[in-house]
Amino acid sequence: MKLLASLFAKASAAALAVHLLPACGLLGNLNHYQVSDDATLGAEAYPELLSGETVISSGADHRMVDRLTQRLVAAARELDPVVANQFDWEVRLIEQDEVVNAWCLPGGKMAVFTGILPIAGDETGLAVVMSHEIAHATLRHGTERMTRQDLLTQLIEAGAEAYSEDAETKQQTEALASDAAHLLVSLPFGRDAEIEADTRGLMYMARAGYDPRAAVGFWERMSSASGSAPFELFSTHPSDERRIEQIREALPEAIRAYEQSLGSR
Ligand SMILES: [Zn+2]
């Protein structure tokens, strides 16, 4: 809040706040990128992110990651065909025992680090993480966040221009405004997106025939493991209690879907 306070003081930008703050609430799930942009952005970033990594391409863990990803992607294609069918889904298992992380880029390009396997425990545990990551991609959280950043930057720049005549003050304001934009974008939206990805991910798991009840145990294990080290996976995460509480609320529907999927097998 310190940043925001000085921003407002320096630029006499109370009027800016009037524009800016309601805009955050109104943006909702606004995304001014096309679904095909997600695919392009992810495909461009993927080789860069994988370069220099040791990719594991055989063995039991590799087979497990491949199998569960295929099952989860098939579920995502069934439940969210409009977006999921436009993506060319891929996954790589990366040998880094100290990295407790997994990610999915916009457009469905994924990575799993070996460091998360002990916490996942088994295939169902790993399905909790991967379904969550796949849901970030189908819900298009990456380009949604980019949309917010673009719009906030435009608003703040317009505000700085309108409310400051003095060049030095204007420059300072813009620097602060950029920090403030990051603050506004990364915290609250990050948490909402995490909960949204958890909830949708449970439905993918269930549809793919993985017991969604495993999500509670998985996040509890992550929570005790993250006591010792900051994990990237948690950088914008909701508090563990709130996350687990929301998962419990979403479970009955996911369990029904799981039982149905078992019945149809
Ligand atoms: Zn997440």
Structure tokens at 242: 């709130």
* 90 included as an active-site residue: no
Alpha-carbon span 208 to 127, nearest angstrom:
9
Do 104 and 137 contact (CB within 8 A), yes or no? yes
Distance from residue 174's CA to the centre of ligand 1 (Å): 30
Backbone angle region of 12, left / alpha / beta, with phi > 0 → left and psi within -120 to 50 → alpha: left
Distance from residue 265's CA to the centre of ligand 1 (Å): 30
What pLDDT score does 237 carry? 56
Give the three-class secondary structure for 39: helix
Distance from residue 27's CA to the centre of ligand 1 (Å): 20
What pLDDT score does 180 carry? 57
Distance from residue 188's CA to the centre of ligand 1 (Å): 13
Distance from residue 39's CA to the centre of ligand 1 (Å): 19
What pLDDT score does 167 carry? 75
Question: In Å, how far are 72, 148, 152, 208, 265 from 179, measured between CA atoms?
Answer: 37, 14, 11, 41, 51
- From the candidates 53, 98, 133, 168, give the one annotated as an active-site residue: 133
Which alpha helices (H) appear in the chain, and where do they start and end?
2-10, 14-27, 35-50, 60-79, 81-84, 117-120, 123-138, 141-163, 167-186, 188-207, 214-225, 240-263
What pLDDT score does 172 carry? 72
pTM: 0.78
Distance from residue 222's CA to the centre of ligand 1 (Å): 13
Distance from residue 102's CA to the centre of ligand 1 (Å): 9
What is the end-to-end Cα distance of the chain in Å, rounded? 53
What pLDDT score does 163 carry? 66
**String of b and e for 48-64 (b: at least 16 CB within 10 Å)?**
eeeeeeeeeeeeeebeb
Ranges of the chain whose pLDDT falls below 50 = 1-26, 184-189, 228-232, 234-235
Q: What is the dihedral of CA 75, 92, 100, 131, to 10 degrees?
A: -10
**Closest listed residue to residue 265, CA positions, set 75, 63, 77, 69:** 75
Distance from residue 180's CA to the centre of ligand 1 (Å): 22
